[in-house]
Amino acid sequence: MAQLGGMFDATQVEPQGDYSPIPPGDYTVQIVSSQMAETSNRNGHMLKLELEILDGEHAGRRLYDRLNLDNPNRQAVEIAQRTLSAICHAIGRLSVQDSEELHMQPMTAVVTVKAPSTGRDGKTYAASNEIKTYKVLRDAPAPVNTGSAFRPAQTGTGQMASAPWKRSA
């Protein structure tokens, strides 16, 4: 038996959600955080992206992408640059200096399910989602490159107001 250091009230904490992979498909997403991080073998850096699904059955779920922008493997860098270019084209910001410029910009992510696998480290990895590409959001107004990141309006409950691309003029 272990003491919890006080009374735990489960009514005050949201239960853990289901983190199994979402079905393959096109999802409306936005990048909510990003950071440059050193690769595990310490010979390069990657841009780690956290994306949030904005609508549909899986609204609120998070997806992740990693772009090896600084790596001795030239092919890894080229793939990362193409992915970053797809993101930039999808949100209409064709020149960026800071990854924060990519935040809160709605776009479409084409998501697949990666089969369970055994890594080079010998560990077994469960099935997971993988983002194959990014596209311009369908029915979105033409993006305007203003130099500032789009920040959706918040309602009083902390929930995002109706999606900007779904609002009537």
pLDDT per position as a tens digit, 43-85: 999 999 999 999 999 999 999 999 999 999 999 999 999 999 9
Taking the model in full, what pTM does it have? 0.74
Residue 158 has pLDDT above 50, yes or no: no
- Residue spans of the domains in the chain: they are 21-140
Let me know: does 65 contact 51? Beta carbons within 8 Å. Answer: yes
How far apart CA 51 and CA 48 sit, in angstroms, is: 10
**Between residues 148 and 120, which one has the greater pLDDT?**
120
Residue 169 per-residue DSSP state: -
CATH 3.90.1690 fits 21-140, yes or no: no
What percentage of the chain has pLDDT greater than the value 90? 71
Structure tokens at 125: 């990895």
Dihedral of CA 74/76/77/81: which sign? positive
**Angle subtended at Cα 124 by Cα 121 and Cα 128, rounded to the nearest 5 degrees:** 115
Residue 136, number of CB atoms within 10 A of its CB: 16
